[in-house]
Structure 1
Amino acid sequence: MSYVALQHYRSTSHYAGVVEATPHKRVAMLYDGVIERLMMARGAVLRGEVAVKLRTLDSALAIVEHLRLGLDRDAGGAIARNLDALYDYIGRRLVEANARDRVETLDEVLALLRQLKSAWDGIAPSH
């Protein structure tokens, strides 16, 4: 299978998985995606690959913003307000990590996101 065909397969199969996923699963997928991109960005910083770092951090920031915009502030109350503040903090830390090539800052953000993902997985609805 050619690289282009493989990328197309991954893209369409990933899209189908998102469409069929429950809202809870979609959020879990967003957490997985942002964690994956931050790990790629971390490696890029260590290797001095500026273009990869910029692309993956940009993508990670977009996911964090998507998570933030998806909050239901009316129904979510204090939890939504706290998540909003945490997502804002994460976004600011990612901008700082990008500007200063700080792996430690990326590690901090990764730890926060892994905790959020773990908590989210812990409240998965049973079917």
Structure 2
Amino acid sequence: MNAAHQYQQVSTQTSIVDADPHKLIQLLLDGALQRMAMAKNRITAADFEAKNNLINKSIEIVAGLRGFLDFEKGGEVAANLEALYDYIERRLFEANVKNSLEILDECSRLIRSVKEGWDGIRQEVIEKKLV
């Protein structure tokens, strides 16, 4: 198990080093989703310390996503994303306090929706870099 975890860390670190800004956002969205799923498992297993750490990490990731927003270039989209990320952070905090699988599911759905949109523009981003 330890070797698999180490491989995953090295793989993740390599992905981050090689990532362009668009890819980095994809990795952060993936990381938030993974930690929320793991937190759900920890709630089910009554491992509340690990659940707390995972949800706190999810909150940190979402806060990081907020930090990447460019309101000058992003305009209304950036403002809407900031409001959504703020909502998700507050809901994650509530999920942590209440050990709520339902709230974690809601937050996961919202992040997944953002990720689908972000993934959908990936090819456009790549094509702009080639021009």
TM-score, normalised by the number of residues in structure 1? 0.90
Distance 1:39 1:9, change over 3 A: closer
Q: How does 1:45-56 map to 2 (within 5 A)?
A: 45-56=43-54
Deviation, 1:7, is: 4.7
Give yes or no for the alignment of 1:16 onto 2:7.
Answer: no
**Two-structure CA RMSD over aligned residues (Å):** 1.6
**Deviation of 1:10 (Å):** 3.7
Q: Which residue of 2 aligns with 1:41?
A: 39
Q: Identity percentage over the alignment? A: 39
Q: Deviations over 1:5-64 (max 9, x none)?
A: 665554344222211111111100000000000000011112211011011001101100
Q: Measure, in 2, the Cα distance between the counterparts of 1:126 and 1:112.
A: 25
Matched residue, 1:76: 74
- 1:113 deviates by 0.7
Q: Deviations over 1:93-123 (max 9, x none)?
A: 0010111111111111111111111111001
CA distance in structure 2 between the partners assigned to 1:66 and 1:87 by the alignment: 10
Q: Give aligned pairs, total.
A: 125
2 CA distance for matches of 1:46 and 1:53?
A: 10
Structure 1 gap ranges (5+): none
Q: Secondary structure at the match of 2:110?
A: helix
Residue of structure 2 in register with 1:25 after alignment: 23
Structure 2 spans left out of the alignment, 5+ residues: none
Query: What is the DSSP-based 3-state SS (H/G/I as helix, E as strand, rest coil) of the residue aligned with 1:48?
Result: coil
Deviation at 1:67, TM superposition (A): 0.1
How many angstroms apart in 1 are the aligned matches of 2:4 and 2:109?
Answer: 32
What secondary structure, in the 3-state scheme, does the structure 1 residue paired with 2:69 have?
Answer: coil
